[in-house]
Structure 1
Amino acid sequence: MGQLSTRTLRSDEYGAFFDVFAAAFLDDALDTARDAYRGAFDPELTHGVFDGDELIGVAGRLELEITVPGPVPCPVAAVTAVGVKPGHRRRGVLTALMRDQLDAMHDDSTPIAALYSSEAGIYGRFGYGLATLESHLVLPRGAPFLSTVEIDDRPVRELDREQALEVVRARYPAVARTRTGWLSRTDGSWQARVLDGPNARGGLGAPRFAVHPDGYAIYRPKQEWTDRGPEHQLDVAELVAATPQAYAALWRYLLDLDLVGSVRWRKAAVDEPVLDMLVDPRAVDRRVLDGLWLRLVDVDRALMSRRYASSVDVVLEVTDRFCPWNAGRWRLRTDGDGSATVTRTQHAGHLALDVTDLAAAFLGGSTLTGLARSGRVVEHEPGTLLATSRAFATDCAPHCPEPF
């Protein structure tokens, strides 16, 4: 066994990085996406663990913005491609990656980090809390809407890839800035995360683009022929709409396409409006799973980046075993416009909680009152729990519509 060392990678080490990533996920099909992911690879933001000269563990991150409650944009480290080469596990490789990565974010003043977890029990020990949920929806073709649903009667048109990309790249940012949990995008991330990412696998066809004047849907067809005729599947990669009427028009278009048996969306919000638009809500096959896991890299900067629903003055007693600079008592004071100041204090804590619980409540996906019912938040000063939970509340469930 050699001496383990950790460092950022060089640009000429992309091939080795990708090989470790693909091997860690036991996914030979990933190799077809090697070129697409290259545009999102930044060696200065990618850490590797070496056993001598052999690269055995990797963890990358993307420097993006995420919409936080307000809504306001906030810098986020989107952690991606984390993996340890088979045969080298249980040696502290992942812990070393997380340590160097979080130290680098702290040094760069990045307030929060986010990731998707391949196994839900992995990242809590590094301070990540479950911040969003997502719905996997399956709707039957032709599912009728309630008569009260207003559908924009302007047509939805299919465009080829080149024409559509110009449209969707222009329309996405304005909507993303209003939706808690949505991410900014670069040209490279459009390719890797939306167009040629994980949704490209599983026998699905090339992406198709349904464009409306106030939105668009990107979907992939999967052919399914039965003895009774075609029952093709449409897999929605994303659906973006600036108005409820455009949203309804795009859904109506997808549900009414010929030859289709079902429309599926694996990255829908838990409060997706289409669920309340249907005549028969039981027509939807729905599963709710964990979505984004969030990490408050710097508690004070993170809490001051978002807006709050009501005024509160509370002392939070925070534990953080992995990032000790966050541990201690923080006074959170919000004012009438929702902005906040966060300072260290010696005053007694009103609420005691771990940084994972604070992360879970940060986007509004979990409530502090709910976490308290499970014993994860402890109230020391009566009345402060409910007041603080209401301050963190949001009108809509946070949601991230894309993998990374």
Structure 2
Amino acid sequence: MKTTPDPAPAGAAETGGSRTPATVPVDLGPDDAERIMALEHLVWFEVAPGVSAEDSLAELDFERTRGAELVSPAPRLGAAQGPTPLAGMYASWAMAVTAPGPLGSLVRLPMNGLTWVGVHPDLRRRGILRQMMTEHLTTAHDHGEAVAGLQAAEPGIYGRFGYGAASLDVTLTLGRGTELAADDALDAAAQEVTTHMVPAGTPEAMAAIQRAHLLAAEHTLGAVTRTEAMARVWFRDFPVARGSKEPLQVLLATRGDNLHGYALVRRSSQWEHNVPQGEVTVREIGATDPAALLALARRVVDFDLTGKVTLHGRGLDDPILWWAGGPRSAALRAGDSLWVRLVDVDKALTARGYAAPADVVLDVVDPVCPWNERRWRLTVGSDGVGRCLPTEDAPDLRMPVAALGAAYLGSRPIAAQAAAGQVTELRPGAAAELSRAMRGDVEPVAAIGF
């Protein structure tokens, strides 16, 4: 997720004694490749050698890509002639996320995945990000996209726009040959799973990865999935940019003729005093069941010529963590992963399921999306199905919309946010009631990188 801070309103802030020039939103397309890449390089100061602008932009959906232009750009001393630079840009994908369903089940929901957000370094802190975010969320609302998500490059930015950190990205570091201990039944089931490795960058491999990715997501709380268009280009191999690194590989797990999981791995060679100490990086690992996950995990910790295995994108109660012996055995590190935003409170709260009955009135504070800023009654029956409707009844809880986003995937309970002063309880017991209803049976897994 690519982001830059920019807290002031566009066209209204004063910086360095001069009034900020106004910006206008514009559609971006392939013909804007030069200025999109110019902004990309300025914001992120990363250039991938051997990767063309066309290759870099192939992952974008240009029907969902927008820019911000200065209305009256001033001459720029020393600048070469060329297209007018972009003041900022953003893009999104029509992704999906696995949320809690009724009574411990899971449900796949559409999610607007925001990405490629950047503001020109000369125009930071002038409200351009706020302008783009407001437009983005309004467009999502108009298109009926009730849930949005992102991964923040800097965590202090997106709470002000109503996003809440809903899952953690847990990294596990294991030694080569780590014993992954399971009970006899699970151990026997894992031995029935076959794994094989192929380069990830071919069309055939990318199609298999997408199949496994979608199958695993059906069984994994918090999983975010790529679109078919993203999947066709996401793991392309660029030898010049990769340099001496191994091409990305995929381990595919099968049981008979059925696909049950995958792991994206890259090994790096390293020797210390003539002893092999290569490193294995596991970019993604997903499975439809614990046996397939165990088989994949055992394979990645048993590559020859390696000494360390790093698994990214896991969760706090990941089975791999506990098969390995717990946090001290796995050198656990955690950071924020998916930030969730309820674009339409009523639709989003009705779409997911619940673990327990509830009847609460929520006074939602949401200045960015004013259609949400009102009282809502959430009623959940004994079947775990909820319904959220406008009401004028007295509120039980008052909260920023970000608090609902943080709790949406079944973690970050409302009661804990109330204890931290982020939610105000107006009826005793209401925070615990809503927490019990929204909690998932397990912690959500980290989102894939997007």
TM-score > 0.5, shorter chain as reference:
yes
Between 1:340-349 and 1:66-75, the stretch displaced more is 66-75
1:18 aligned onto 2:37:
yes
User: 1:347 matched to which residue of 2?
Assistant: 393
User: 1:156 matched to which residue of 2?
Assistant: 195
In 1: Cα distance, 2:425 partner to 2:395 partner: 9
Number of aligned residue pairs: give it.
402
CA apart distance, 1:403: 0.7
> Does structure 2 retain, via aligned residues, the 8 Å contact 1:22–1:31?
no
Matches within 5 A, 1:365-380: 365-380=411-426
Q: 1:17 is aligned with what amino acid?
A: I
Q: 2:223 is aligned with what amino acid?
A: W
Among candidates 86, 93, 98, match of residue 67 of structure 1: 98
CA apart distance, 1:361: 0.6
Among candidates 211, 214, 222, match of residue 170 of structure 1: 211
User: 2:156 matched to which residue of 1?
Assistant: 121
In 2: Cα distance, 1:132 partner to 1:210 partner: 25
In 1: Cα distance, 2:443 partner to 2:327 partner: 19
User: 1:136 matched to which residue of 2?
Assistant: 171
Q: Which runs of 5 or more structure 1 residues have no equivalent in the other structure?
A: none
Q: 1:384 is aligned with what amino acid?
A: A
**TM-score for both structures, normalised by structure 1:** 0.93
> Does structure 2 retain, via aligned residues, the 8 Å contact 1:143–1:283?
no
In 1: Cα distance, 2:326 partner to 2:224 partner: 33
After TM superposition, the runs of 4+ consecutive aligned structure 1 residues lying more than 6 A away are: 200-203
> Does structure 1 retain, via aligned residues, the 8 Å contact 2:246–2:266?
yes
CA apart distance, 1:44: 2.4
> Does structure 1 retain, via aligned residues, the 8 Å contact 2:33–2:54?
no
In 2: Cα distance, 1:288 partner to 1:211 partner: 27
Q: 1:264 is aligned with what amino acid?
A: T
User: Any idea what SS the aligned residue of 1:16 has?
Assistant: helix
CA apart distance, 1:54: 2.9
In 2: Cα distance, 1:110 partner to 1:262 partner: 42
In 1: Cα distance, 2:165 partner to 2:172 partner: 20
User: Percent identity at matched positions?
Assistant: 33
Between 1:148-157 and 1:86-95, the stretch displaced more is 148-157
1:274 aligned onto 2:320:
yes
In 2: Cα distance, 1:33 partner to 1:68 partner: 37
> Does structure 1 retain, via aligned residues, the 8 Å contact 2:377–2:390?
yes
1:382 aligned onto 2:423:
no
> Does structure 2 retain, via aligned residues, the 8 Å contact 1:145–1:277?
yes
Q: 1:156 is aligned with what amino acid?
A: T
When residues 178 and 223 of structure 1 are mapped into structure 2, their CA distance, relative to the original with a 3 A threshold, is same
1:164-199 CA-to-partner distances (Å, cap 9, x unmatched) read: 4343332222221222222233343225555669xx
CA apart distance, 1:30: 8.0
User: 2:335 matched to which residue of 1?
Assistant: 289
In 2: Cα distance, 1:234 partner to 1:279 partner: 20
When residues 289 and 192 of structure 1 are mapped into structure 2, their CA distance, relative to the original with a 3 A threshold, is farther
**TM-score for both structures, normalised by structure 2:** 0.84
Q: 1:209 is aligned with what amino acid?
A: V
User: Any idea what SS the aligned residue of 2:123 has?
Assistant: coil
User: 1:45 matched to which residue of 2?
Assistant: 64
CA apart distance, 1:35: 4.1
> Does structure 1 retain, via aligned residues, the 8 Å contact 2:218–2:288?
no
In 2: Cα distance, 1:158 partner to 1:98 partner: 41
In 1: Cα distance, 2:243 partner to 2:150 partner: 23
In 2: Cα distance, 1:201 partner to 1:130 partner: 32
When residues 77 and 279 of structure 1 are mapped into structure 2, their CA distance, relative to the original with a 3 A threshold, is closer
Among candidates 111, 114, 120, match of residue 85 of structure 1: 120
Q: Which runs of 5 or more structure 2 residues have no equivalent in the other structure?
A: 1-19, 73-83, 255-259
When residues 328 and 187 of structure 1 are mapped into structure 2, their CA distance, relative to the original with a 3 A threshold, is closer
Computing the radius of gyration from Cα coordinates, the structure with the larger value is 2
Matches within 5 A, 1:232-381: 232-279=278-325, 281-381=327-427
> Does structure 2 retain, via aligned residues, the 8 Å contact 1:314–1:388?
yes
1:325-354 CA-to-partner distances (Å, cap 9, x unmatched) read: 111100001122222111111100001111
When residues 208 and 328 of structure 1 are mapped into structure 2, their CA distance, relative to the original with a 3 A threshold, is same
User: 1:223 matched to which residue of 2?
Assistant: 269
When residues 30 and 185 of structure 1 are mapped into structure 2, their CA distance, relative to the original with a 3 A threshold, is farther
User: Any idea what SS the aligned residue of 1:302 has?
Assistant: helix
In 2: Cα distance, 1:144 partner to 1:400 partner: 24
User: Any idea what SS the aligned residue of 1:19 has?
Assistant: helix
When residues 158 and 256 of structure 1 are mapped into structure 2, their CA distance, relative to the original with a 3 A threshold, is same
Among candidates 129, 144, 153, match of residue 109 of structure 1: 144
- RMSD (CA atoms): 2.2
When residues 147 and 304 of structure 1 are mapped into structure 2, their CA distance, relative to the original with a 3 A threshold, is closer
> Does structure 1 retain, via aligned residues, the 8 Å contact 2:199–2:248?
no
